[in-house]
Structure 1
Amino acid sequence: MIRSVLIILFTLSISIPSFSQQTSVSQQKVSFDQKIGQMLLVGFRGTALTDTNHISRDIKKYHLGGVILFDYDVPSKSSERNIQSPDQLTTLINDLNKLSNIPLIISIDQEGGQVARLKPSMGFPKIKSAEYLGTLDNVDSTRFYAQKMAQILDNLGINLNFAPVVDLNTNPDNPVIGGLERSFSDDPQKVVKHASIYIQTLNNYGIQSVLKHFPGHGSSKNDSHLGVVDVTESWSNSELIPYRELINRGLADAIMTAHIFNQNFDPNNPATLSKPTITGILRNKLNYDGVIISDDLMMGAIRNEYGLKKTINKSINAGVDILVFANNSIYDADIVPKAHRLIKELINEGKISRKQIEYSYNRIMKLKNGMDNK
């Protein structure tokens, strides 16, 4: 009965022209301000566009590249955030898309299991966790749940999913990976097998995937939401295998960085802010030229250690293309104008090159051209 109701709800969802029916982004005349705005992805409060003032401003005035949706507002400890029901969320996404000349990234963390913003209590089907599917190790089951997830996201108009997690489950007691059943396995080949199915299935529905958390968060003992996490002693080279293989197979739509510190990579900076890690390993060693997305730059591991200007400077120079400000550790309604202004300041000061912005913009547009924007 519930499944029938969901199908009806999704069928009645408002139809909007797909990305392929719109003018190609690369054919539009784009200002440098717009290119900077495309590098920002932000979270916001509100289940309807009328609930918030700044997100409309951020899209129209600052050319915001994308948004991330949540079911729970951590700073206020409230379940009132962005998601109430399939019908409500479809309307919100439709209204957001109408504001932007350049199609928006509409993103979400919908991994399955405990990390699922679209919950059964809100009218969405339950999706099994990565650990469950990796332990079962049945490709048909993984494909079934991946397709179920892709259909939900596609009908809602979500075009980028921060999944799959390709961290290895090397520390089952890890509070943010193993402890939440987010990893398919401690075996890198098993991770690659099941992650590939998820990525290909999402892509079949015009949804881009994000591999996370580079260069590997599975061995950590602490939570980078709260502070610096050092994996110098626990990290192993096997954690790069899923990235290497998925990149080589052309299955890395985008990759998210981790706020982890590894002295063997960079004695001074966590991965997100580390040029030796992001450019040196991911770009040069693993030959990845797709979009690199930061983990939330408002998380404790970054916010407690660096100022906003330094964070932006270091992350862009490290090789990050999209800066995420989830607004769900702390909330700052003016984070987009602040970040936009600081990027321009850093360019004018000669600390960030215009060429770096151009490279990031071109990668982002390539990612967006692979999306089915509803």
Structure 2
Amino acid sequence: MFNRSLTGLLLILAVCIAGCTSAPDTPDAVNRTLDSLTLEEKIGQMLLVGFRGYTVDDDSQIARDIAAGRVGGVILFDRDVALGTSERNIRDPAQVRALTASLQGYAGEIPIFVAVDQEGGAVCRLKESYGFPATVSARSLGDLNDEAATREAGRALAAMVAGSGFNVNFAPVVDLDVNPASPAIGRLNRSFSDNATVVAENARWIIEEHHNLGVMTAIKHFPGHGSAVTDTHAGFTDVTRTWSEEELRPYRDLIGLGLPDMVMTAHVYNANLDPDYPATLSEATVTGILRDRLGYDGVVVTDAMDMGAIHDNYDLRESLRLSINAGCDIFLFANNLVYDEEIAEKAVGIVKSLVESGEISEERIDESCGRVLRLKMRCLAGSPAAP
């Protein structure tokens, strides 16, 4: 296990309370905890990675990364896309519970995020075929647009996620169903509706039911993926001619209610928002729109940095430099479309070198790490890794 000062340990103990909506602000605790971390550990809190295996032990790379403070979170999948197999991390409920507990057990005094994409419907890692309860798609809920039905579905999703040892669900999708044939959203029935009010209301009900069971959520994919005619998993995706300001409305409404724990960026390119970079790498989009215009000061997590739209067009150093300076806080390496067992160690080393060269300021690292710590302090009380 990696070492951290007793001061940081006691501060986390002092501020962790149950629930993600009732904790007071803890700026002093966050700042003192930041002071107890090395630069490498701060960067590690900003990484969330995927890995292979139904179990982990002391010799597993992911276990070593967690114990060394090189990652702040993990994500589990039921399929390995790079290998083209259904053997990855999820086999049955008992195995998943044991795996998530083992992963959390390798964390030091700061618990890790243990995340899953459990939207319901087509994007559902905890599947009925593995012994989990059946789920319904966002589109079917949006068509009903019934608060009781959506809350029931949200409660079932949250119970499944929490009961399996996850503390973050990368859901709900708040993309508008602008293009029903959109390969990543509309075609998979991942959007509640093409109506922004329906999307925001149903997303609110889903989020609140997750919060009731202590599960964090991430609304996605900012600033809107629903009008795209191509898929960012596969490569460059341009929404310049199809995107509209209306796609920001669910974010504005949910941020106004103080509900998002995280906002996930999309890798879509929109020349009207930024003529140079896709949203994940765009300061004009992440800081200019999400933070400055919409007033969001919480955690921003990227969509997977190994997706084609980023991986095929930018090298790792450039994508990390741009996304950090854009205002993103957590960098998701799903390690699924392409696989690199040493991605965490490589990313920490690259970001450290970017700080040392002055291309990223340490204050910028502190800002993101502070947001991550604040969210963990508020929401991860009672974690097995919490002292």
Fold match by TM threshold 0.5:
yes
The answer to whether the 8 A contact 2:57-2:63 is kept is: no
What secondary structure is seen at the aligned counterpart in 2 of 1:256? strand
2:239 corresponds to which residue? Answer: 231
TM-score (norm 2): 0.89
In 1, Cα distance between the equivalents of 2:363 and 2:331?
A: 17
The count of residues paired between Structure 1 and Structure 2 equals 355
Alpha-carbon distance between aligned partners in 1 of 2:246 and 2:59, rounded to the nearest angstrom: 44
Partner residue, 1:32: 39
**Aligned-partner residue type, residue 273 of structure 2:** F
Cα distance in 1, alignment partners of residues 68 and 374 from structure 2: 23
**Contact in 2 for aligned 1:49/1:92 (Cα 8 Å):** yes
Q: CA deviation at 1:155?
A: 1.3
List gaps (5 residues or longer) in structure 2: 1-12, 19-25
Q: Counterpart in 2 of 1:275?
A: 283
1:122 maps to amino acid: Y
The reply on whether 1:254 has 2:250 as its aligned counterpart is no
Counterparts of 1:237 and 1:47 in 2: how far apart (Å)? 43
Is 1:76 matched with 2:44?
Answer: no
Is this contact kept in 2: 1:62–1:340, CA < 8 A? no
Aligned to 2:120: 112
Task: Tell me how far apart the structure 2 counterparts of residues 152 and 328 of structure 1 sit (CA, whole Å).
Answer: 23
Instruction: Please state how far the C-alpha of 1:368 moved relative to its aligned partner.
Output: 1.3
Give the unaligned 5+ runs of structure 1. 1-16
In 1, the alpha carbon distance for the partners of 2:189 and 2:59 equals 34
Which residue is 1:341 aligned to?
349
Q: Tell me the SS of whatever aligns to 1:260.
A: coil
Give the counterpart of 1:181 among 182, 185, 189: 189
Q: Is the 8 A contact 2:220 2:266 kept in 1?
A: yes
Q: Map 1:86-97 onto structure 2 (within 5 A).
A: 86-97=93-104
User: How high is the TM-score relative to the length of structure 1?
Assistant: 0.92
The whole-number CA distance in structure 1 between the counterparts of 2:377 and 2:337 is: 31
In the TM superposition, 1:77-226 aligns within 5 A as 77-101=84-108, 102-226=110-234
| 8 A contact 2:237–2:269 mirrored in 1 | yes
Higher relative contact order (CA 8 A, sep 6+): 2
Separation in 2 of the partners of 1:63 and 1:221?
A: 37
| Superposed displacement of residue 151, structure 1 | 1.0
- Aligned pair 1:58/2:58, yes or no? no
In structure 1, what residue type is equivalent to 2:355?
Answer: I
Specify which of 315, 323, 338 is matched with residue 330 of structure 1: 338
d(CA) in 1 for partners of 2:214 and 2:289? 29
2:49 is aligned to: 42
Percent of residue pairs bearing the same amino acid type: 47
Secondary structure of the residue aligned to 1:229 is coil
Paired residues of 1:208 and 1:370 also in contact (CA < 8 A)? no
